[in-house]
Protein backbone atom coordinates (compact mmCIF):
# COMPACT_ATOMS: atom_id res chain seq x y z
CA UNK A 1 0.00 0.00 0.00
CA UNK A 2 1.35 3.41 -0.97
CA UNK A 3 2.23 5.83 1.80
CA UNK A 4 -0.32 8.63 2.25
CA UNK A 5 0.51 11.90 0.48
CA UNK A 6 0.33 14.77 2.97
CA UNK A 7 1.55 17.38 0.47
CA UNK A 8 -1.90 18.74 -0.40
CA UNK A 9 -2.85 19.04 3.27
CA UNK A 10 0.42 20.85 3.96
CA UNK A 11 -0.16 23.30 1.09
CA UNK A 12 -3.71 23.96 2.29
CA UNK A 13 -2.48 24.70 5.81
CA UNK A 14 0.07 27.17 4.45
CA UNK A 15 -2.49 28.84 2.18
CA UNK A 16 -4.94 29.33 5.06
CA UNK A 17 -2.34 30.60 7.51
CA UNK A 18 -2.80 27.49 9.64
CA UNK A 19 0.77 26.25 9.49
CA UNK A 20 2.82 26.95 12.59
CA UNK A 21 6.52 26.53 13.14
CA UNK A 22 8.66 25.38 16.04
CA UNK A 23 11.87 25.58 14.06
CA UNK A 24 13.04 25.36 10.46
CA UNK A 25 12.67 21.58 10.72
CA UNK A 26 9.46 21.18 12.77
CA UNK A 27 6.09 22.46 11.54
CA UNK A 28 2.73 22.54 13.31
CA UNK A 29 -0.76 21.71 12.03
CA UNK A 30 -2.47 24.38 14.16
CA UNK A 31 -6.14 23.35 13.67
CA UNK A 32 -5.35 19.74 14.60
CA UNK A 33 -3.18 20.68 17.58
CA UNK A 34 -5.71 23.25 18.84
CA UNK A 35 -8.48 20.66 19.18
CA UNK A 36 -9.67 19.98 22.73
CA UNK A 37 -8.34 16.63 23.94
CA UNK A 38 -7.85 14.70 27.14
CA UNK A 39 -7.67 10.98 27.88
CA UNK A 40 -11.24 10.00 28.76
CA UNK A 41 -11.30 6.22 29.02
CA UNK A 42 -14.59 6.22 30.87
CA UNK A 43 -16.25 7.20 27.59
CA UNK A 44 -14.40 4.89 25.20
CA UNK A 45 -13.99 1.58 27.07
CA UNK A 46 -15.80 -1.35 25.40
CA UNK A 47 -18.93 -2.27 27.33
CA UNK A 48 -19.27 1.27 28.68
CA UNK A 49 -19.07 3.42 25.57
CA UNK A 50 -21.61 4.57 23.00
CA UNK A 51 -22.16 2.22 20.09
CA UNK A 52 -20.19 4.38 17.65
CA UNK A 53 -17.33 5.26 20.03
CA UNK A 54 -13.83 3.88 19.65
CA UNK A 55 -10.69 3.70 21.79
CA UNK A 56 -6.97 3.92 21.06
CA UNK A 57 -6.43 1.09 23.60
CA UNK A 58 -9.02 -1.19 22.04
CA UNK A 59 -9.50 -0.45 18.37
CA UNK A 60 -6.25 0.82 16.85
CA UNK A 61 -3.62 -1.57 15.57
CA UNK A 62 -0.15 -0.89 16.96
CA UNK A 63 2.91 -2.31 15.21
CA UNK A 64 5.98 -1.87 17.45
CA UNK A 65 9.38 -1.34 15.90
CA UNK A 66 11.90 -4.16 16.08
CA UNK A 67 13.58 -2.42 19.03
CA UNK A 68 10.27 -1.92 20.88
CA UNK A 69 9.30 -5.53 20.30
CA UNK A 70 12.66 -6.75 21.58
CA UNK A 71 12.29 -4.66 24.75
CA UNK A 72 8.83 -6.10 25.42
CA UNK A 73 9.98 -9.66 24.76
CA UNK A 74 12.99 -9.25 27.07
CA UNK A 75 10.75 -7.99 29.89
CA UNK A 76 7.85 -10.37 29.20
CA UNK A 77 8.25 -12.51 32.37
CA UNK A 78 8.16 -9.35 34.49
CA UNK A 79 5.26 -7.93 32.46
CA UNK A 80 3.27 -11.15 32.83
CA UNK A 81 3.87 -11.25 36.58
CA UNK A 82 2.81 -7.61 36.94
CA UNK A 83 -0.36 -8.08 34.88
CA UNK A 84 -1.40 -11.44 36.30
CA UNK A 85 -3.04 -9.97 39.40
CA UNK A 86 -4.60 -7.11 37.44
CA UNK A 87 -6.00 -8.74 34.32
CA UNK A 88 -7.59 -12.23 34.21
CA UNK A 89 -6.42 -12.69 30.63
CA UNK A 90 -2.89 -13.06 32.01
CA UNK A 91 -3.78 -15.92 34.39
CA UNK A 92 -2.05 -18.15 31.85
CA UNK A 93 0.99 -17.17 29.75
CA UNK A 94 0.12 -15.53 26.46
CA UNK A 95 1.86 -14.29 23.34
CA UNK A 96 1.49 -10.51 23.13
CA UNK A 97 1.92 -10.25 19.36
CA UNK A 98 -0.24 -11.21 16.41
CA UNK A 99 1.95 -11.03 13.31
CA UNK A 100 3.62 -7.59 13.48
CA UNK A 101 1.11 -5.92 15.80
CA UNK A 102 0.14 -6.07 19.45
CA UNK A 103 -2.59 -8.65 19.97
CA UNK A 104 -6.07 -7.45 20.99
CA UNK A 105 -7.83 -10.36 22.73
CA UNK A 106 -11.20 -9.64 24.25
CA UNK A 107 -11.66 -6.40 22.24
CA UNK A 108 -8.73 -4.55 23.81
CA UNK A 109 -4.94 -4.37 23.60
CA UNK A 110 -3.20 -7.30 25.23
CA UNK A 111 -1.55 -4.84 27.65
CA UNK A 112 -4.66 -2.72 28.36
CA UNK A 113 -5.80 -3.14 31.96
CA UNK A 114 -9.56 -3.45 32.55
CA UNK A 115 -11.57 -0.81 34.42
CA UNK A 116 -10.71 -0.76 38.10
CA UNK A 117 -7.26 -2.30 37.61
CA UNK A 118 -5.44 0.94 36.86
CA UNK A 119 -5.84 4.68 36.87
CA UNK A 120 -8.98 6.34 35.59
CA UNK A 121 -12.52 5.14 34.99
CA UNK A 122 -11.84 2.87 32.03
CA UNK A 123 -8.98 1.09 30.30
CA UNK A 124 -5.40 1.90 31.25
CA UNK A 125 -2.00 0.83 29.92
CA UNK A 126 -0.27 -1.97 31.78
CA UNK A 127 3.09 -1.15 30.21
CA UNK A 128 2.71 2.47 31.32
CA UNK A 129 1.85 1.31 34.84
CA UNK A 130 4.84 -1.04 34.97
CA UNK A 131 7.20 1.68 33.78
CA UNK A 132 6.00 3.93 36.60
CA UNK A 133 6.11 1.14 39.21
CA UNK A 134 9.70 0.23 38.35
CA UNK A 135 11.10 3.69 37.65
CA UNK A 136 11.63 3.04 33.96
CA UNK A 137 11.56 6.07 31.63
CA UNK A 138 8.49 6.47 29.48
CA UNK A 139 8.97 4.47 26.32
CA UNK A 140 11.18 1.83 27.89
CA UNK A 141 8.31 -0.61 27.24
CA UNK A 142 5.38 1.40 25.90
CA UNK A 143 5.58 1.72 22.08
CA UNK A 144 5.76 5.17 20.55
CA UNK A 145 2.37 5.01 18.75
CA UNK A 146 0.67 4.44 22.12
CA UNK A 147 2.51 7.38 23.65
CA UNK A 148 1.67 9.64 20.72
CA UNK A 149 -2.11 9.33 20.37
CA UNK A 150 -3.75 11.47 19.10
CA UNK A 151 -0.54 13.06 17.77
CA UNK A 152 0.72 12.10 14.32
CA UNK A 153 4.26 12.79 13.12
CA UNK A 154 4.68 13.23 9.37
CA UNK A 155 8.11 13.11 7.74
CA UNK A 156 8.14 15.53 4.81
CA UNK A 157 10.37 14.81 1.82
CA UNK A 158 12.52 17.90 2.39
CA UNK A 159 13.61 16.61 5.80
CA UNK A 160 11.09 18.54 7.86
CA UNK A 161 8.51 17.05 10.24
CA UNK A 162 4.87 18.08 10.60
CA UNK A 163 3.35 17.60 14.04
CA UNK A 164 -0.36 17.02 13.52
CA UNK A 165 -3.09 14.91 15.11
CA UNK A 166 -6.08 12.73 14.32
CA UNK A 167 -8.64 15.35 13.26
CA UNK A 168 -11.58 15.76 10.85
CA UNK A 169 -9.22 16.73 8.00
CA UNK A 170 -6.39 14.30 8.77
CA UNK A 171 -7.80 11.00 9.96
CA UNK A 172 -7.81 9.38 6.53
CA UNK A 173 -4.20 10.43 5.89
CA UNK A 174 -3.30 9.07 9.33
CA UNK A 175 -4.98 5.72 8.52
CA UNK A 176 -7.13 6.18 11.61
CA UNK A 177 -10.77 5.88 12.55
CA UNK A 178 -12.68 9.16 12.08
CA UNK A 179 -11.86 11.76 14.71
CA UNK A 180 -15.52 11.89 15.76
CA UNK A 181 -15.32 8.22 16.79
CA UNK A 182 -12.98 9.03 19.67
CA UNK A 183 -14.83 10.62 22.64
CA UNK A 184 -11.57 12.15 23.85
CA UNK A 185 -11.14 14.31 20.73
CA UNK A 186 -13.13 17.54 20.79
CA UNK A 187 -14.11 17.10 24.43
CA UNK A 188 -15.62 20.34 25.69
CA UNK A 189 -13.46 22.13 28.25
CA UNK A 190 -10.38 20.01 27.56
CA UNK A 191 -6.93 21.51 26.90
CA UNK A 192 -5.56 21.65 23.40
CA UNK A 193 -3.91 18.55 21.98
CA UNK A 194 -0.57 20.38 22.06
CA UNK A 195 -0.99 21.29 25.72
CA UNK A 196 -2.22 17.85 26.77
CA UNK A 197 0.66 16.17 24.90
CA UNK A 198 3.36 18.57 26.08
CA UNK A 199 5.31 15.78 27.82
CA UNK A 200 5.42 13.66 24.66
CA UNK A 201 6.42 16.58 22.44
CA UNK A 202 9.08 17.56 24.98
CA UNK A 203 10.51 14.04 24.95
CA UNK A 204 10.71 14.03 21.16
CA UNK A 205 11.77 17.60 20.39
CA UNK A 206 12.73 19.23 23.70
CA UNK A 207 10.92 21.41 26.24
CA UNK A 208 11.25 24.59 24.18
CA UNK A 209 9.53 22.94 21.23
CA UNK A 210 6.79 21.64 23.49
CA UNK A 211 6.22 25.10 24.97
CA UNK A 212 6.14 26.74 21.52
CA UNK A 213 3.69 24.13 20.26
CA UNK A 214 1.33 24.62 23.20
CA UNK A 215 1.50 28.42 22.93
CA UNK A 216 0.91 28.42 19.18
CA UNK A 217 -2.10 26.08 19.44
CA UNK A 218 -3.58 28.12 22.31
CA UNK A 219 -3.15 31.36 20.36
CA UNK A 220 -4.74 29.85 17.25
CA UNK A 221 -7.73 28.63 19.29
CA UNK A 222 -8.09 31.98 21.13
CA UNK A 223 -8.07 33.92 17.87
CA UNK A 224 -11.07 31.92 16.68
CA UNK A 225 -13.03 31.87 19.91
Q: In terms of domains, do 114 and 82 share one?
A: yes
pLDDT of residue 93: 82
Q: What is the number of structural domains in the chain?
A: 2
pLDDT tens per residue, range 59-79? 999 999 999 999 999 999 999
In the chain, the DSSP E strands lie at 19-21, 26-29, 97-98, 101-102, 112-113, 124-125, 151-155, 161-165
Q: In terms of domains, do 116 and 166 share one?
A: no
Torsions phi, psi for 176 (to 5 deg): -110, 175
pLDDT tens per residue, range 74-124? 999 999 999 999 999 999 888 899 999 999 998 899 999 998 877 778 999
Residue 136: is its pLDDT beyond 80?
Answer: yes
- Going by C-alpha positions, the residue among 93, 97, 104 that lies closest to residue 69 is 97
Q: In terms of domains, do 103 and 33 share one?
A: no
Q: In terms of domains, do 200 and 157 share one?
A: yes
pLDDT tens per residue, range 148-185? 999 999 999 889 999 999 999 999 999 999 999 999 99
Q: What is the pTM of this model?
A: 0.92
pLDDT of residue 51: 93
Amino acid sequence: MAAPDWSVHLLQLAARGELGRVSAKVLLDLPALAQPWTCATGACTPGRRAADARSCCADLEVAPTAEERAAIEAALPEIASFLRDRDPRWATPRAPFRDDALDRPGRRCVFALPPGAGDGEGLSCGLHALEDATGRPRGALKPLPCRLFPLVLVDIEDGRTLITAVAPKTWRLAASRPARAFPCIGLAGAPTVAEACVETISTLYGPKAAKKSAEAAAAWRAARA
